[in-house]
Amino acid sequence: CRDLNGELHELDSQWRTDSCHDCSCSEGAIDCCSSFLTPSDYDEENCVSILNKETCTYKVVEKDDHSKECPVHNWVG
């Protein structure tokens, strides 16, 4: 299988992309899905969600002070 970056993967192999998607190669297809939960219910006016690509997790923080986390009421994944 050849992924979107042109990299070849063996049949029946699995890998995680740089954008935190888990992919697998089967005969004739590559299937990918997100490996993380996405915050969907938080104060978007005052807060921002940031994806940590090393841990594949989101953190929701205040726009003006990234050291302060914001409450998240719902996650989608």
Tell me the pLDDT tens digit for each residue of 5-58: 899 999 999 999 988 999 999 988 999 998 899 999 999 999 999 999 999 999
* pLDDT for 30: 93
Residues 46 and 31 sit within 8 Å (Cβ to Cβ)? no
* pLDDT for 28: 81
Q: Which candidate, 43, 13, 47, 46, places its Cα nearest to that of 30?
A: 13
Q: How confident is the model at residue 4 (pLDDT cuts 50, 70, 90)?
A: confident
* pLDDT for 5: 86
Q: How many CB atoms lie within 10 A of CB 18?
A: 7
- Sorted by where each starts, the structural domains of the chain and their CATH numbers stand as 1-35 (2.10.70.10), 38-76 (2.20.25.590)
Q: In this predicted model, which residue has the larger pLDDT, 36 or 77? A: 36
